[in-house]
Amino acid sequence: MNNLLTVSNITKVYESGKRKVVGIQDISFCVEEGEFVSVIGPSGCGKSTLLRCIAGFEKINSGDICLDGHKVRRPEPSRFMVFQGLDQLFPWLTLKENIIFAMKAVDKSQGSFEKKADYYLELVGLEGFGNFYGYQLSGGMKQRAAIARALSVRPKLLLMDEPFGSLDAFTRRAIHQMLLNVWQKTGVTIIFVTHDMEEAIDLSDKILVFAKGRLKGLIENPLPRPRERDATAYRSFLLKLSSFLEEETTGFLDSEALSAVEAKLAF
């Protein structure tokens, strides 16, 4: 596979008057085309800031972000973001109209908008709901619709900022399977922010561990799909990832200690 996204030594500093707060500092990593990458860490560690910088919503102070060889300078359809909230749809439009609006905003000449909107609704398990409005749907269905709209513009990179955080456990497991099916069918590259270690393990090929605005480790997920939470290998990996995160909340690891932890996480 080829590198789709390259993040090189990026730093983002927020300023308010004379006060400066470092959001993220000296972050570097690559994401290959078609990968599913999770970003995990405690609240306030810079996960959402990273996603907003990649999306082009925030200007970085230093470093470079390149998508498919081109520097990220502003928001573009090639990087579509799905947010935390459940009210991302235009409330005055039906689900199908929301999707058609997005497609027309990107390319009015592509045609067959109705059929394409139906395809993306079916892809996320919402066939037959095209004429419903957002307020008529459950939280899980709203997020499915938001994902369908994002995919309809055919982004190279789908950015997801804790999109399932407000859903109940049963709905989350169902929507996880839907997202994995969509990822496998479309081949879209995904960066997924979460606080939930099991969610990160269930979904991703790689896990980026953040602490205090820095990237502290990139962990390859060795578990084969489908992943069963009661499997011995799964529980073992979860315990080791948990141990790594606990170490990161108490302070920074030097390079030798980080290598030792990553070695423990390898199978």
pLDDT at 261: 40
pLDDT at 1: 65
Same domain, 104 and 34: no
Q: What percent of the chain has pLDDT over 70?
A: 91
Please check whether residue 213 lies inside any domain of the structure: yes
Number of domains in the chain: 2
**pLDDT score of 252 more than 70:** no
Same domain, 137 and 222: no
pLDDT at 52: 96
pLDDT at 107: 84
Q: Is 70 helix (H, G, I), strand (E, B) or coil?
A: strand
Please check whether residue 64 lies inside any domain of the structure: yes
pLDDT at 249: 61
Alpha helices of 56-204 — where are they, by DSSP H?
95-106, 113-123, 139-152, 169-186, 197-203
Same domain, 32 and 136: no
Please check whether residue 216 lies inside any domain of the structure: yes
Q: Model confidence at 256, in pLDDT bands (50, 70, 90)?
A: very low
More confidently predicted of 260 and 75: 75
DSSP sequence for 114-151: HHHHHHHHHHTT-TT-TT-BGGGS-HHHHHHHHHHHHH
Q: What percent of the chain has pLDDT over 90?
A: 78
Q: Which residues span the domain enclosing 233?
A: 3-78+156-265
Please check whether residue 83 lies inside any domain of the structure: no
Q: What is the reported pTM?
A: 0.90
**pLDDT score of 28 more than 80:** yes
The token pair that represents 96 in the structure block: 């199908």
Same domain, 69 and 165: yes
Written as one letter, the residue type at 254 is: D
Please check whether residue 45 lies inside any domain of the structure: yes
More confidently predicted of 260 and 229: 229
Of 208, 205, 201, which Cα lies nearest the Cα of 233?
201
Helix, strand and coil content of the chain, in percent to the nearest 5, comes to 40, 25, 35
pLDDT at 258: 41
Same domain, 62 and 111: no
Same domain, 116 and 171: no
**pLDDT score of 263 more than 60:** no
Cβ of 168: how many Cβ atoms within 10 Å?
11
Query: Is 8 in contact with 39 (CB distance < 8 Å)?
Result: no
Same domain, 229 and 166: yes
Of 174, 115, 119, which Cα lies nearest the Cα of 143?
174
Average pLDDT, the chain: 90
Q: Model confidence at 18, in pLDDT bands (50, 70, 90)?
A: confident
Domain stops at, among 121, 138, 154: 154
**pLDDT score of 9 more than 50:** yes
How does pLDDT run across 136-154, given as a tens digit for each residue? Answer: 999 999 999 999 999 999 9
Please check whether residue 176 lies inside any domain of the structure: yes
pLDDT at 57: 96
How does pLDDT run across 202-247, given as a tens digit for each residue? Answer: 999 999 999 989 999 999 999 999 999 999 999 999 998 998 888 7
Please check whether residue 171 lies inside any domain of the structure: yes
How does pLDDT run across 92-138, given as a tens digit for each residue? Answer: 999 999 999 999 999 877 778 999 999 999 999 999 999 999 999 99
**pLDDT score of 31 more than 80:** yes
Site of tokens 């990996």? 237
Domain stops at, among 154, 169, 202: 154
Same domain, 160 and 150: no
Same domain, 20 and 144: no
CATH of the domain at 251: 3.40.50.300
pLDDT at 108: 76
**pLDDT score of 267 more than 50:** no
pLDDT at 266: 47
Same domain, 175 and 126: no
Same domain, 164 and 231: yes
Of 107, 167, 176, 159, which Cα lies nearest the Cα of 139?
167
Mean pLDDT within 152-173: 93
Please check whether residue 239 lies inside any domain of the structure: yes
**pLDDT score of 183 more than 70:** yes
CA distance 26 to 62: 9
Same domain, 12 and 127: no
Domain stops at, among 130, 154, 178: 154
pLDDT at 244: 86
